[in-house]
Amino acid sequence: MRRFILARLAQAVVSIFVLITVLFFMVRLTGDPVERMIPPQVTEEMANELKAAYGLDKPLLVQYGVFLGGLVTGDLGTSLYFRGRTVGELLSLRILPSLELSVFSMMFSLLIALPLGVYAAKYRGRGSDYVARIFSILGGAAPSFLVGLVMLRIFSVQLQWFPTGGREGLLSVVLPTFTLGWFVSAGIMRLTRSSMLESLYGDYVKLARIKGVRESVVIWKHAFKNAALPVITYATVIFAAVIGGAIVTEYVFAWPGVGSLLIRAVIQRDFPVIQGAVILIGTAFVLCNFLADLAYAWINPKIRYTR
Amino acid sequence: MTTTESAPGAPQAEEPRVKVRGAATTIRFPFVSMVVLGLVVLVAVFAPLIAPHDPEVGQLSNKLIPPVWQEGGNSDFLLGTDTLGRDIFTRILYGARVSLMVAILATGLAGVLGTIVGLVAGFYRGWVEIILMRITDMTLALPLMLMAIVLVALLGASLTNVLMVIVILLWPYYARQIRGEALAISEEDFIDLARVAGLSSPRILWRHILPNVMPTIGVLATLQVALIILLEASLSFLGVGIPPPTPAWGLMVADGRDILGRAWWVSIIPGIAIFGVVLAANLLGDWVRDRFDPKLRQL
Amino acid sequence: MLLEVKDLRVQFHTRRGVVKAVDGVSFSLDRGETLGLVGESGSGKSVSCMALMRLVEAPAGRIVGGSVLLDGQELLDLSEREMRQIRGGQISLILQDPLSSLNPGYTVGNQVAEAIRIHQGLRGRALRDSVVEILSQVGIPQAERRLKQYPHQMSGGMRQRVAGAIALSCRPSLLIADEPTTSLDATVQAQYLRLLSELQQEFQFGMIFVTHDLGIVARLCDRVAVMYAGRIVETGSTRQIFNEPAHPYAKALLATLPSLESRKKRLLTVSGQPPLAIDLPPGCSFAPRCPEVMDICTEEFPAEATTGDRHRVLCWLHSPSDEMSLSAR
């Protein structure tokens, strides 16, 4: 178990390092950030001044060193668009809203997808199975921006139950949570259903019934625990879906999160911000996967009890 | 549907242990999906013949006409017009071209690239395999959407770049799968036989291994079409995909985003087009997978 | 009489039609007695056993008729709630595969404790003691220490002992063992069978032992029931069946036994395929494979004939001719 955790931790650290490095060189090698953002009429002299101000005139490896050094001290550089504001400052304002949306959506989708997947498997081929499958097929095919816009049109514009965007008050979180949550739960439900089908027909479930265990306990204690393992192995896919969906959802609902900041930075060609946002999201992704690995090890005694 | 597998004849009735994985083989042929997709292909091919208006130029005097069934609708513009007075029906037709082109080209290119990598890695082994598979696994571990946005941001938004980015991100799915199969096939006796017969390695790959992995390639390709259409539409919607004025469906949805209250049709109608095509492609993909390659179920 | 099964019928509804997996099975069992249930796979042995516990896979499978009396109580009339009290309490079942029948996600202690908690309502210290006691009884050394172990940390033999402990933890009056030794190797198998007989001596439960290993039957069982295509075609004492088998199928099964005397290995098999229970021929189901088949066999189902004390057979060879007209009715 200890060795397993350490190995996964090392793997996570390496992943983050690789991500940062690849990102740094990709940004530098695909063109000069300053030249890409400044208008052509600016004189070369001014451009050079700008480059010097951002340290872009130095050799690439030196820049890389400075960049890494900055990262260690929490300095992600300065925004090119919002002059004088550091990337760290811009990001820090947006972490909480993003976290809020992701956590709410994750909770919502687990709350919906797990029971739905379990009962769809239990009543395979009957009414509730069809409802669950339609829910998941639609959720997998409807682009979240369409779901978001339809929600906005009906509940915000027409019925005026919810604000049309932004993050003010508890009501504003409802539509984004539903939009992102549905998208994510479609996948989780599918996985839960198929892995429940497998464990429901397992001999240990039969044995539980033979022991005289109540059906609800059979399902949730005996079948579900083992069905959860394969679902957790797909955590990476699920987290990737949350990230992708969150970026789109934040953009649709003008939610002041890291995702919408990233899109704005891309459109404004604000490379330090893009870099910072990607590093932040990437690190969060790697950390979540690490936590999922821990959860897997914790649930799975086969890993827990090997050194 | 449920009862069927429980006891297929008496021998299994002894242990009604259900072949759960096989359960999905009972999915019916997705007839409606085929019709929808066929229609989209036809529409894309013949867009210039069917389309009543110009897809990229409109008259401002015609702006925001509602669809024909709504009050104020005009039979000249079946599905209404957008803020620039362009006919939405026409743009949907041309948009099908964009979506299909991206889907077909990206699927094809990613398939070719991934298959080559997979074959080479699975057949030659050694350090070639290690390096190629490391790259494959690393790419597979990345969050797709995030990477697509970053790459388009770096390369610049254009149709070619969107295509390139999708290919860069999707080839590893083929490589991973094909490598496994190439590995298994190259252990088979008939490959040894071919070697003994003096066939060169590239020739063995081409003549003996490739034909055997073709079904897998086909299944993967069908499964990816929906994903690619969705990805392209999302990128275009976010403004980091295909640039205006090209009539890409995602872009059209974005056009109507701010006038949702006044003119819902500008966004929602192209959105429904995306939804319909992705749904049809998904259902077809599921069917193809279950029918031809049930071992890919987890994808 | 501990258990009396009369005309038990189980059907599975499939797309291809109705499968009569168990088609009118009757037998009885005393306390302390062991009944061997033998037959090819697919003959309905396991389904019959699960049906005794009313655990036929719904909605496909259904018990459609018959009667199961346990200590004079009709099990088929009980509510699901009452039935749960019977399962694991009065009737227990040991499944075939110890590897898959224990839940990989819970400790052995937890899994043994579950049945005791449900049926005897024990908690805490008393529960723990009771678990340790039963684990020692099935011959698990250092039971105390094993409580916290997971199934994957134990050997196959140990796991099957745990399965036995779970089955016997509530002192059932009837134990069904569904080929519990097929996945064990020979020495472990012998130990396990000895353990079962010892425990039966001690607790005096009735046992139904499902197997297709006639060697085990000879050693372990008092009486034998031979199943074919959902029916018990012959039943009698072990001695009767082994010495004077009446049904051609039973004879064929016994012929497959490798005997020490014969120099050549007579590993015969019963030729032909068992029929699909979905389209059974009108007459005797065994007729297509029967070496002694007669015209009547393919036309009508034979009536039950008694050839000795509690020795009964379903075969035209033994049906008295005057009964022929009776059954043709």
Per-residue model confidence (pLDDT) at position B164: 93
C103 with A305: Cβ contact below 8 A = no
Kindly state whether residue C199 falls inside one of the protein's structural domains.
no
**C177 and C302 share one domain:** yes
Q: What is the pTM of this model?
A: 0.81
CB distance from A216 to chain C under 8 Å? no
Q: Is the dihedral of CA C232, C238, C240, C241 positive or negative?
A: positive
Q: Does the pLDDT value for residue B108 go beyond 50? A: yes
Kindly state whether residue C64 falls inside one of the protein's structural domains.
yes
pLDDT-derived band at A42, boundaries 50, 70, 90: low
Kindly state whether residue C67 falls inside one of the protein's structural domains.
yes
C104 with A301: Cβ contact below 8 A = yes
**C78 and C120 share one domain:** no
Residue of A nearest to B277 (CA): A141
Longest dimension (CA), chain A: 84
Mean per-residue pLDDT, C168-192: 85
Neighbouring subunits of B (3+ Cβ pairs under 8 A): A, C
Query: In which domain, by residue range, is C305 found?
Result: 3-88+173-182+204-328
The amino acid present at C302, given as its one-letter code, is P
Q: Does the pLDDT value for residue B134 go beyond 80? A: yes
Higher local confidence (pLDDT), B154 or B293: B154
User: Token digits for C110?
Assistant: 């937890």
Mean per-residue pLDDT, A208-237: 89
Beta-bridge partners for C224: C36, C236
Kindly state whether residue C77 falls inside one of the protein's structural domains.
yes
Report helix, strand or coil for C303: coil
Beta-bridge partners for B149: none
CB distance from A226 to chain C under 8 Å? yes
Neighbours of A33 (CB within 10 A): 22
A204, A212, A226: residue with CB nearest C89: A212
Longest dimension (CA), chain B: 77
% helix, strand, coil for chain B, step of 5: 70, 0, 25
Residue of C nearest to B4 (CA): C14
Which one of C147, C171, C195 terminates a domain? C171
**C76 and C210 share one domain:** yes
Query: In what helix (H) or strand (E) does residue C70 lie, and over which residues does it extend?
Result: strand C61-70
A301 with C150: Cβ contact below 8 A = yes
pLDDT-derived band at B27, boundaries 50, 70, 90: low
Segment among A177-186, B287-296, C152-161 with least mean pLDDT:
B287-296
Per-residue model confidence (pLDDT) at position C273: 62
Burial C11-33 (b: 16+ CB within 10 A, else e): bbbbeeeebbbbbbbbbbbeeeb
C14 with B7: Cβ contact below 8 A = yes
Gap between the Cα atoms of C318 and C302, Å rounded: 9
CB distance from C114 to chain A under 8 Å? yes
The amino acid present at B45, given as its one-letter code, is V
**C209 and C84 share one domain:** yes
Kindly state whether residue C194 falls inside one of the protein's structural domains.
no
Q: Does the pLDDT value for residue A70 go beyond 60? A: yes
Total of domains in chain C: 2
C42, C61, C230: residue with CB nearest B6: C61
Mean per-residue pLDDT, B155-165: 90
Segment among A88-97, A106-115, B161-170, C274-283 with least mean pLDDT:
C274-283
Which one of C115, C149, C171 terminates a domain? C171
Q: Does the pLDDT value for residue C24 go beyond 50? A: yes
Gap between the Cα atoms of B71 and C191, Å rounded: 86
C278 with B10: Cβ contact below 8 A = yes
Higher local confidence (pLDDT), B280 or C248: B280
Mean per-residue pLDDT, A110-121: 91
Q: What is the 3-state secondary structure (H, E, C) of C161-183?
A: HHHHHHHHCCCCCEEEEECCCCC
pLDDT-derived band at B14, boundaries 50, 70, 90: very low
Torsion, Cα A111 A117 A120 A124, to 10 degrees, reads: -170
pLDDT-derived band at A127, boundaries 50, 70, 90: confident
CB distance from B193 to chain C under 8 Å? no
What's the Cα-to-Cα distance from B45 to each of B42, B48, B91, B163, B280, rounded to whole Å? 5, 8, 14, 20, 19
Kindly state whether residue C235 falls inside one of the protein's structural domains.
yes
**C233 and C321 share one domain:** yes
Mean per-residue pLDDT, C287-310: 78
Residue B203 C-alpha, separation from nearest chain A C-alpha, in angstroms? 36
The full set of domain ranges for chain A reads 95-270+278-296
pLDDT-derived band at A18, boundaries 50, 70, 90: confident
- Which residues in chain A have Cβ-Cβ distances shorter than 8 Å to B149? 247, 262-263, 266
By the 8 A CB rule, do C241 and C234 touch? yes
C92, C153, C167: residue with CB nearest A305: C153
Q: For residue B118, with 0-12 CB atoms within 10 Å meaning exposed, 13-18 middle and 19 or more buried, which class applies?
A: buried
pLDDT-derived band at C320, boundaries 50, 70, 90: low
CATH code of the domain containing C35: 3.40.50.300
pLDDT-derived band at B155, boundaries 50, 70, 90: confident
**C217 and C282 share one domain:** yes
Per-residue model confidence (pLDDT) at position A41: 67
CB interface of B with C, residues 8-37, below 8 Å: 8-16
Per-residue model confidence (pLDDT) at position C266: 41
The listed range with the strongest mean pLDDT (A61-75, B105-119, C174-188) is B105-119
pLDDT in tens, A130-173: 888 888 888 888 898 999 999 988 998 888 888 887 778 788 88
Per-residue model confidence (pLDDT) at position B52: 84
What's the Cα-to-Cα distance from C261 to each of A291, B29, C40, C258, C265, rounded to whole Å? 65, 61, 25, 9, 10
Report the DSSP pairing between strands C17-29 and C3-14: antiparallel
Residue B151 C-alpha, separation from nearest chain C C-alpha, in angstroms? 43
Superfamily of domain A95-270+278-296: MetI-like (1.10.3720.10)
Residue of C nearest to A303 (CA): C152
- Which residues in chain C have Cβ-Cβ distances shorter than 8 Å to B7? 12, 14, 19, 21, 60-61
Residue of A nearest to B298 (CA): A191
Gap between the Cα atoms of A119 and A132, Å rounded: 9
Higher local confidence (pLDDT), C279 or B221: B221
ipTM of predicted complex: 0.86
- Which residues in chain A have Cβ-Cβ distances shorter than 8 Å to B21? 198
Residue A271 C-alpha, separation from nearest chain B C-alpha, in angstroms? 9
Residue C296 C-alpha, separation from nearest chain A C-alpha, in angstroms? 42
pLDDT in tens, B79-92: 888 888 888 898 99
Beta-bridge partners for C19: C12
Higher local confidence (pLDDT), C301 or A20: A20
Per-residue model confidence (pLDDT) at position B55: 83
A141, A152, A157: residue with CB nearest B278: A141
**C241 and C302 share one domain:** yes
The amino acid present at A201, given as its one-letter code, is Y
Neighbouring subunits of A (3+ Cβ pairs under 8 A): B, C
Smallest Cα–Cα separation from A170: which of A101, A112, A98? A101
Smallest Cα–Cα separation from B145: which of A237, A275, A110, A90? A237
Looking at residue B208, what DSSP letter applies? I
Residue A131 C-alpha, separation from nearest chain B C-alpha, in angstroms? 15
Residue A294 C-alpha, separation from nearest chain C C-alpha, in angstroms? 16
